[in-house]
Amino acid sequence: MIAVIIIIVILVVLGIIFAGMYNSLVGRRNQVDNSWSQIDVQLKRRHDLIPNLVEAVKDYMSYEQETLTKVTEARAAAINAGNQGPQAQAQAENMLTESLKSLFAVVENYPDLKANQNVLSLQEELTATENKISFARQFYNDSVLTYNNKIQMFPSNVIAGMFNFTTRQFFEAPEGDREVPKVDLR
Amino acid sequence: MYEQIRRNRRASWLLMGLVVTLLAALGFVIGAAVIGGTSGGLGLLGVFGIAAIAWSILGYYSGDKMVLAVSGARQVTHEDEPQLFNVIEEMTIAAGLPNPPAVFVIEEPTPNAFATGRDPQHASVAVTRGMMQMLDREELQGVVAHEMSHIRNYDIRFATLVGILVGMIALVADFFLRWSFWGGGGRRRGGGDSNDQAGAILMVVAIVLAILAPLAAYSVQFAISRRREYLADASAVELTRNPLGLARALNDIAADPRPLRHANRATAHLYIENPLKNKKTKEVSGVFDTHPPIQKRIAVLLEMAHVGPEALVPGRRAATVAAGAGAPAVGPAGVSAAWAPVPAPHEPPPPPAVPPAPPA
C-alpha cells in the first residue's frame, strides 16, 4: 500500500516537472517566433521609408544617379528575398544597408540636403529603423540562444526530443546546416 | 532578472504592509494622546489604517500619474519628439518588452530622467528638456536603456510606491508635529489630573514616533536605490552593448550643478541621478544618499568598456564609435554596425565592482 502511494507520488511529481519543462520550452519557442516577427516589422518599415528618402534627395543629387539606383535596386532585392529564408534575406538586407551607407555618405557632401528638414527627419527615421533592426536581431539571437540551450541541455532535451522541438538558426548563422526556422515571411 | 522581478513584487507588498502598520500605530498613539484613552487610540488607529490602505491602493494604481504630475512632466508624441521617441522604441525592442512606455518631457534645463509605473504594460519614461539638448543620440540611448531596465525589473513599481507612501508618512508626521507645537494639544479638557499626566506621556511618545516614522521610511528609500542603480547600469549595457554611451551621459549629468526644480525628497530616488544636487565627488556613499556616487558608476562603466577616463572627452567620440563600441551611433555611422556577421555575445563582460551580478 505504502509502496503504491510512494510510486504514485513520484509519478505525480515527475509529471509536474515534465509539464513545467514542456511549458517553458513552448514559451521559449513562442518568444523566438515573436522576436523574429519584430525584425520583420522593422525590415518592412525600412523598405517603406526608402522611396520617400529617394524622392526627397533625388532633385538635389542629379550627379549621383548611380548611388540612388543602387539603393532602389537593393531595396527591391531585399523585398524579393523576404520569402527565401533568413539566410538569403540577411544577405539582401546587408546589401541594402551598404547602399544606404554610401547614400548617407554622399548626402554629407550636399550642404543644401543636410539643412533640409524633410531629409533630416527621414534620416532620423532611417537611423532609428536601422537601430531597431539591430536591436531586434540582438534580442532574436539571445532568444534563440536560450531556446537552443534548453533543447540541447539535460534534462529538458529529453522533453524536446519527445515533442519534436528543433533548434533554431541565429540570424546570421554560417551556411544553412541547421534547420530553417518555421516563420511566415512575406 | 526574474529573481529581481520576484524580489520587487514581494518588496512592494511588504512595503505596503509596513506602511499600513506604521500609520496605524502612529494613529493609535496620536489618538490616545490627543483624544484620550484606548478608545480614542483605537478610533484613530482605524481611521489611519483605512486611510493608509486606501492610499496604498491609490498609490499602486495611479502613483505613476501622481509622480508625473508632481514632476511637471508633459506627455509627448512621436511628432513632437521623434528622436526621443525612436530611442525609446529601440530600447523597448532591445529589452523585448511588448509595447513602449509612455513618453514624457519635463521642461527644465537640468539633464535628468526617471521611469515610473507599476509594470511594463503601465510604464512611463520622463526626460528633461536639458537632457535631450545636452546628450547625443548614443548617450540618450544609454540613459533610456537604464530606465528601461528599471521598467523591466519592476523597480518602477517599488520605487513609485516608496515615493508615494514615504511622502505620505512624512506628510502626516509633519502635520501632526506642527499641529501639536501650535497648541493643538490644548483641546484635551475635562479629564482628571492622572489623565493629564498620562496624556503628557503619550504626547511625548507621539512626537517621538512622529519623528521616527518618516526617518524609518526614508531609510527604506535610501536602502533601495543605491544597489538598483548599479544593477540598472549593468542591464542598460546588456541592452545597448555600449557602456561608453551611458558613461558619457552620466559624466555630462554630473557636470551640471543645477538642481531640478520639480524634484523633491519623495521622488528624488526615482531619477537616474540625484536631482537635489548636493553633488559630491567623494568615492564613498553616505547613509543618506539616494544614489551611489556618480563617479563610481562612471568608473564601473568605463571598466566594462575597457577604456580609461579619456574616452569621456567629447572629442574622442568619433574614434570610439569607429572602434565598434557596440550600438550604432547617429547618422551614417549608425548604418554600419547594424548587420555584424557574428551573433552578438549573450552577456557583456560582468562588471568587476558591481555588488551583485545580475542573474542571467
Residues of chain A with C-beta less than 8 angstroms from the C-beta of B346:
142, 145
- Mean of pLDDT over chain B: 76
Q: Running DSSP on this structure, what letter comes out for residue B285?
A: P
Sheet with strand B113-119: strands edge to edge = B73-75, B102-106, B122-128, B113-119
For residue A8, is it within any domain? no
Q: Using CB atoms within 10 A of its CB, is residue B258 exposed (0-12), middle (13-18) or buried (19+)?
A: middle
The angle at the Cα of B62, spanning B61 to B63, to the nearest 5 degrees, equals: 105
pLDDT value, residue B22: 79
Kindly report which listed range (B33-47, B130-144, B186-200) carries the lowest average pLDDT score. Answer: B186-200
pLDDT value, residue B143: 95
For residue A89, is it within any domain? yes
Q: Are A36 and A184 in contact (CB under 8 A)?
A: no
Q: Are B245 and B139 in contact (CB under 8 A)?
A: yes
CA atoms within 13 A on the CB side of A178: 15
Q: Could you give the C-alpha distances from A58 to A129, B18, B198, B342, in angstroms and in order?
A: 21, 66, 89, 35
The residue among B79, B90, B91 with the most chain A CBs within 10 A of its CB, best to mutate, is B90
Residues of chain A with C-beta less than 8 angstroms from the C-beta of B337:
134
For residue A6, is it within any domain? no
Residues of B with CB under 8 A from a CB of A: 82-83, 86-87, 89-91, 93-96, 137, 141, 239, 241, 327-328, 330-332, 334-344, 346
Residue closest to A129 by CA, chosen among A88, A105, A152, A97: A97
Please write the tens of the pLDDT for every residue from B287-298: 556 778 888 889
Provide the shortest C-alpha distance from residue A142 to chain B (in Å).
6
Please write the tens of the pLDDT for every residue from A127-137: 888 888 888 88
Phi, psi of B37 (to 5 degrees): 80, 170
Q: Could you give the C-alpha distances from B104 to A123, B72, B127, B233, in angstroms and in order?
A: 23, 9, 6, 21
The residue among A89, A98, A109, A135 with the most chain B CBs within 10 A of its CB, best to mutate, is A135
Q: Respond yes or no on whether ipTM tops 0.90.
A: no
Is A135–B93 a contact, with Cβ atoms under 8 angstroms apart?
yes
Q: Searching chain A, which residue's CA lies closest to the CA of residue B333?
A: A101
The domain total for chain A is: 1
Please write the tens of the pLDDT for every residue from B309-345: 777 776 444 444 444 444 433 333 333 333 333 333 4
Kindly report which listed range (B3-12, B52-61, B351-360) carries the lowest average pLDDT score. Answer: B351-360
Is A123–B331 a contact, with Cβ atoms under 8 angstroms apart?
yes
For residue A175, is it within any domain? no
The residues of B annotated as belonging to the active site are 147
The residue among B335, B336, B342, B347 with the most chain A CBs within 10 A of its CB, best to mutate, is B335
Q: What is the CATH number of the domain that holds A46?
A: 1.20.1440.20
Q: How far apart are CA B249 and CA B70, in angstroms?
A: 25
pLDDT > 60? residue A184: no
For residue A119, name the pLDDT band (cuts at 50, 70, 90). confident
Model confidence, pTM: 0.77
Count of Cβ atoms closer than 10 Å to residue A51 Cβ? 12
C-alpha cell at B253: 549629468
Please write the tens of the pLDDT for every residue from B65-108: 988 988 889 999 988 899 999 999 999 999 988 889 999 999 99
Domain residue limits at A72: 32-162
pLDDT > 50? residue B159: yes
For residue A53, is it within any domain? yes
Q: Could you give the C-alpha distances from B275 to B212, B224, B289, B350, in angstroms and in order?
A: 25, 17, 11, 28
